[in-house]
Structure 1
Amino acid sequence: MSSHHIVRDDQEPALIIANGAACNPELLGQLLEWSPLVIVLDSAIDRVMELDIKVDVLLGDFDREFDPEKYKTSQYPLEIVHAPAQDQTDLEKAFDFLIEKGHKAVNVVWATGRRMDHTLHNLTIAALYQDLLKIVFFDDHSKAFLLPKKFQKWYSKDTILSLIPIGTVENIVTQNLFYPLQNEKLQLGYRTGSSNHVAEDGIVTIEFDKGDLMLMECFD
């Protein structure tokens, strides 16, 4: 797989490669093409190197006798970020690193699949960062991101859209969804808006008053 760095613009999203299930190489290549900075979590570095990807930052707690120095030559220039704190996951530490460096947006791959607890935590922790960093998760079946209180976007008819609350979300109003919501409440574990779809080609509008609401654009 070719390296990235076609662009060097801090306004373009950085890319974090976590250590969940791998995505399609075509998707990964598309994201790499437009990423000014590629961060790999330490547990994924060997898998990433097998794909011949140029890495900018190797980040993690480097536990279990992990030696980051051995990657310096093959990945030169490589920034090594040792983040030993055990009260955060390595993905959270990567978000903090980007915020400290002034980045405003990041795409994340390999953050779903494999262990269920990792998948759930990786997606829901985005709520903690939503005012500081625009986070978009990708895998082979979905694109997921938190919504602002009012969201509008053009979609083609029958596009699958799932509304997943992180906790409780109140007074949700939608337009141009096949199953509309009118001042309704969604609550994780009790009622979600999974597997809705777009009614007609055109703008979909989603509004809500309170809570954290994740939209998943899904493709089977």
Structure 2
Amino acid sequence: MSSHHIVRDDQEPALIIANGEACSSELMGQLLEWSPLIIVLDAAMERVMKLGIKVDVLLGDFDHGYTPETYLEYQYPLEIIRIEDQNSTDLEKAFQYLIARGIPSANVLWGTGRRMDHTISNLTNMVRYSDQLKIVILDDYSKVYRLPNHFEKWYTAQTPISLIPVGTVTGIVTENLDYPLADESLILGYRTGSSNSVQKDGIVKITYKTGDLLMMECND
């Protein structure tokens, strides 16, 4: 498997490959085809190499006991970014790298599954960067992103949707969901909007006043 097709640099989302559960080759292929920049976190590089993916940037703190320059024999050109800050995860380092480059959006694969602590951190930490970078975390069953305060999107009826607050979210109003919210609050650990669904074919509208609200478009 390889990339890339001809796409407009820095206009299509970059692709970050983390070190969680692997996704299907179909999903990986779909994202590789239109990603102008492929970033791999250091712990995942060996797994990615076995798939034959062309990597642009290898990034992390490289605390896994290998010398990243050895990959230059197999991947060239390859930009190696070493960031030894222990106060941020490697995925956060990738977000910071893209922001510094002025790249507006990123898709993240292998960001869920395996280590539960990593999964939770990846899903919640993305809100910290949402004002500077549009982030979508995907796997074979879910697509997760932070909702803007005013959101509209067309869905087919019975599409599963979960609204998950990071902390407390207030003033939530929804239209065209089976379980509507009318100026209500969601609080992580106490009340979430899990396992809702679209009522009928058409536009779903969601607005809220304060907080950070994650959209999870899920399937079984």
Which TM class, normalised by the smaller chain length?
over 0.9
How is 1:17-166 mapped onto 2 (pairs within 5 angstroms)? 17-166=17-166
Secondary structure of the 2:45 match is helix
Deviations 1:57-108 (A, max 9, x none): 0001111322101101211000000011101100000000000011000000
In 1: Cα distance, 2:8 partner to 2:150 partner? 31
Deviations 1:2-24 (A, max 9, x none): 32243132110000000000011
1:169 aligns to what? 169
Secondary structure of the 1:72 match is helix
User: What amino acid is the match of 1:100?
Assistant: A
In 2: Cα distance, 1:38 partner to 1:180 partner? 39
Residues 1:185 and 2:163 are matched in the alignment: no
Contact preservation (8 Å) 2:160, 2:195: yes
State the aligned residue count: 220
Give identity over the alignment, percent. 65
Contact preservation (8 Å) 1:141, 1:218: yes
User: What amino acid is the match of 2:57?
Assistant: V
In 1: Cα distance, 2:34 partner to 2:53 partner? 14
Structure 2: unaligned runs, 5 residues or longer: none
Compute the displacement of 1:207 (Å).
0.3
User: What amino acid is the match of 1:217?
Assistant: E
Contact preservation (8 Å) 1:161, 1:196: yes
In 1: Cα distance, 2:218 partner to 2:173 partner? 20
Secondary structure of the 2:7 match is coil
In 2: Cα distance, 1:2 partner to 1:12 partner? 17
Contact preservation (8 Å) 1:11, 1:104: yes
1:204 aligns to what? 204
Structure 1 runs, 4 residues or longer, greater than 6 Å off: none
Structure 1: unaligned runs, 5 residues or longer: none
In 1: Cα distance, 2:21 partner to 2:51 partner? 14
Deviations 1:133-158 (A, max 9, x none): 00000001000000010100000000
In 1: Cα distance, 2:74 partner to 2:28 partner? 20
In 1: Cα distance, 2:66 partner to 2:48 partner? 16
TM-score (norm 2): 0.98
TM-score (norm 1): 0.98
Contact preservation (8 Å) 1:164, 1:213: yes
CA RMSD of aligned residues (A): 0.8
In 2: Cα distance, 1:46 partner to 1:66 partner? 10
Secondary structure of the 2:39 match is strand
